Amino acid sequence: MHTEIARAYPALFTSDEDLGADTVRIQFEDRTLCVREGTTVAAALLLHGAGPFRTTPVKSSARAPYCMMGVCFECLVEVDGKASRQACLTMVRDGMVIKRQHGASALDLSDEGAHHGCC
């Protein structure tokens, strides 16, 4: 069963702080979000009602942050073209482009056969 995850979701959390001058702009899917500097990607997306962050490789089940401390890997997203970034451990920065991760990430095998410190 494939779950539709691109629809709009209500924000799960609210912030009681004004954004103020210390804000950055990030791009999530087709939305520009203004978030407070020093916020993790996971917190920023949850504050803006992002819904599920990724789907599983086998059944395409929707997943979202669970532990918020880097243990469970449920919050994996693509950040600036790099897959499998833990949103709960990644701080936002101005101009960051974030996308949902669908299924397994592709491995970059462009340097296949290169020697990495052995023989």
What is the reported pLDDT for 4? 56
* Measured distance CA(85)–CA(81) in Å, rounded: 10
Task: Reply yes or no on whether the pLDDT at 18 is more than 90.
Answer: no
Contact call for residues 85 and 28 (beta carbons, < 8 A): no
- The hierarchical CATH code for the domain 23-101 is 3.10.20.440
Ranges of each domain in the chain:
23-101
Which residue, 47, 60, 65, is CA-closest to 9?
47
Q: How far is CA 63 from the centre of its chain?
A: 11
Amino acid at 64: A
Indicate yes or no: pTM above 0.85.
no
What is the reported pLDDT for 1? 47
